[in-house]
Chains A and B, each alone.
Chain A
């Protein structure tokens, strides 16, 4: 492990590793190229991902494949309405020691892993959902007053089923905001579906070859994450990201007080109830840095920011009922915001 720690990846290493992981995942996942790229981008940017898709589009398979490819510890939690927070974080149980004494011992929950899949997270109660908040934000869980650190890398992927809303608990905004990206999995097209059929109904499963050895996987991933942080962002790019985020905030938002130099699209004012939080700007820059490394650059460009804008901002925008009635979704709002900011050239 010490050798691994001494090795610092280069920009080329990052891009090469990223592409290899992608290739391994696509052995199992047919199509969804953009979703896989966004998933890996969130992983190396140090964030978490909310995956939304109808049943059968490969959400769970995607996450499991990622764990196999990275050779990292992987846990899966099926969220149900009766799932308790302790079922996620772990709890203290009474265990008998070798000397016969009984004492409370912390039994880690499934949250203690590198890659956690929260399947259908919106089926659990908000109390249970919020049990993940501390783990996602601070890489630690607190049980009975004791804080337990999670080993990095820690990557939470939660799936949402958008069509089965009965008996579900929509994620609170605070929890949504903690996901770096929201990845949407759509139905595969005919060619992809044909390939899925042929690859999953045969006698052999696609063999996923881990990219890293088990003992170095976490370190390698962490070093790649650090490299992402080293990518340079010119002040102009940071300003651009900030303007994008501010442009998602409608004029009637109570959180927006400084309207000077703001860009407000009419569609935003009409359909958006609350715009993106500052975490959206952070997500833009981090995602752009991954994109820059993949492009062989050590600096981010405007195109990088725009490329990840929908994934980084859409789930942070709260639409009003007018948007629902008019069939406007958040991704459309983000695209309009990008055009507005480009046109404004402020």
Chain B
């Protein structure tokens, strides 16, 4: 029996085979395209949802860092997905090889596709075409690749679910539990006792400090002086940079969440030495401090938990809830600011009293007025100034910065538990130590030492 020579009919059969291979290739390329698109969308949606939820849930700084990280991850992921899709694309030869493998055709299709363009075909060419066409059911596109939709649909679905969950997740965020105005407290302090420094980046707890414009200006000036006198230029620059980043992130959060600056617990600040240092402040007001003055009209500062060595003693909680029932054992000049982020304390109804400033004039019955006054270099010699408040070796540290309007900043102040320990029988209330006369020659030396 002689082998059939290639003729028109054989060419038609060859066309059928190549057409099937083409359909296989089309399906595989479609899947590759879907792979790239689905994964790209999945990554974009998932990252977008995460950023959206993060706008509600995390602080501006974390939001900024996390958002940047997510964006980088998204870019890398999308590039990988597109690259993978590009690599998954098939040529006719590759599609034939895949069909050969999956249909176990042992290279028939690959051979036909590779040799179809050659004019001089051997006598077995017709046999090969016939033989291959006899397996045409085995290399139909639906059998070679059953999927019409890429598996990338699953990550996309997951991303959509994540995006759907992002909305209720954003609603889960606790609403501000402090009603504006309800937790507003008054604080009267001496400007010299205040230790002002920019709040740590990312520390979103705190309260808003409000004061009259003059007071805010003085606070600004003091903050500027202390910041400028810190000597750590790099640290200041870093703080400024961080503040800017945080502000930017906060603004972005507000845009995403559609919120304005959340209500914070407010603290009305009054300066006990108002007007005394006005002239001094004007003198010390540095030009750069004036530049830094901003938010004056807003009149808002954030007061954070003191982190310096000058921590504030806190009155017992019972005492705080009944501030007048039992005098605090502290000295009259002892001041306490409980200001920091009471996230975990939802009982804020009486928080005004808890966070109130224990001032000397109010709790002076237990003596100790002069206790620690000696630590104040200004009061080393001579009688303690009656107008000095909270100067018994304590500094009122207010870490201030322009108020953060981010959505996260709405947390109410944390009121740490107050523990009051009664004096034992062996203990005596603090009594002012009688002062000894200090020679005039030594006063300046002693004062320098204490100032140091």
Complex Cα spacing A11 to B4, Å: 12
A299 contacts B128, C-beta separation under 8 Å: yes
Q: A8-B2, A232-B122, A236-B93 are in contact. Are A298 and B110 (CB under 8 A)?
A: no
A-B pair number, CB within 8 angstroms? 63
Q: Determine the interface band of chain B, counting residues with CB < 8 A from chain A.
A: 20 to 34
> A302 to chain B: closest CB distance in Å?
7
Residues of A contacting B111 in the complex (Cβ-Cβ under 8 angstroms): 232-234, 237, 299-300
Complex Cα spacing A303 to B101, Å: 11
Total interface residues in chain A, CB < 8 Å: 24
Complex Cα spacing A299 to B124, Å: 9
Residues of B contacting A301 in the complex (Cβ-Cβ under 8 angstroms): 100, 106-107
Complex Cα spacing A88 to B344, Å: 105
A295 beta carbon closer than 8 Å to chain B? yes
> A136 to chain B: closest CB distance in Å?
27
Complex Cα spacing A346 to B115, Å: 21
Residues of A contacting B2 in the complex (Cβ-Cβ under 8 angstroms): 8
Complex Cα spacing A302 to B123, Å: 22
Residues of B contacting A230 in the complex (Cβ-Cβ under 8 angstroms): 122-124
Chain B positions 85-142 with a Cβ under 8 Å from a chain A Cβ:
93, 97, 100, 106-108, 110-112, 114-115, 122-125, 127-128, 131
B124 contacts A11, C-beta separation under 8 Å: yes
Q: Which of the listed residues A233, A235, A297, A298 has the most CB atoms from chain B within 10 Å of its own CB?
A: A298
A167 beta carbon closer than 8 Å to chain B? no
> A236 to chain B: closest CB distance in Å?
6
Q: Which of the listed residues B110, B122, B124 has the most CB atoms from chain A within 10 Å of its own CB?
A: B124
B423 beta carbon closer than 8 Å to chain A? no
A302 contacts B107, C-beta separation under 8 Å: yes
B172 beta carbon closer than 8 Å to chain A? no
A252 beta carbon closer than 8 Å to chain B? no
Q: A230-B122, A234-B110 are in contact. Are A297 and B131 (CB under 8 A)?
A: yes
> A77 to chain B: closest CB distance in Å?
37
A10 contacts B3, C-beta separation under 8 Å: yes
B1 beta carbon closer than 8 Å to chain A? yes
Chain B positions 328-345 with a Cβ under 8 Å from a chain A Cβ:
none
Which residues of A come within 8 Å of B, CB atoms? 8, 10-11, 13, 227, 230-237, 292, 295-304
Which residues of B come within 8 Å of A, CB atoms? 1-3, 93, 97, 100, 106-108, 110-112, 114-115, 122-125, 127-128, 131
Closest 5 CB pairs of A and B: A301-B107, A301-B106, A299-B111, A298-B124, A298-B128
The contact sample of 15 A-B pairs, CB cut-off 8 A, is A10-B1, A11-B127, A230-B124, A232-B124, A234-B110, A235-B114, A236-B97, A295-B106, A297-B131, A298-B124, A298-B128, A299-B107, A299-B112, A299-B128, A300-B111
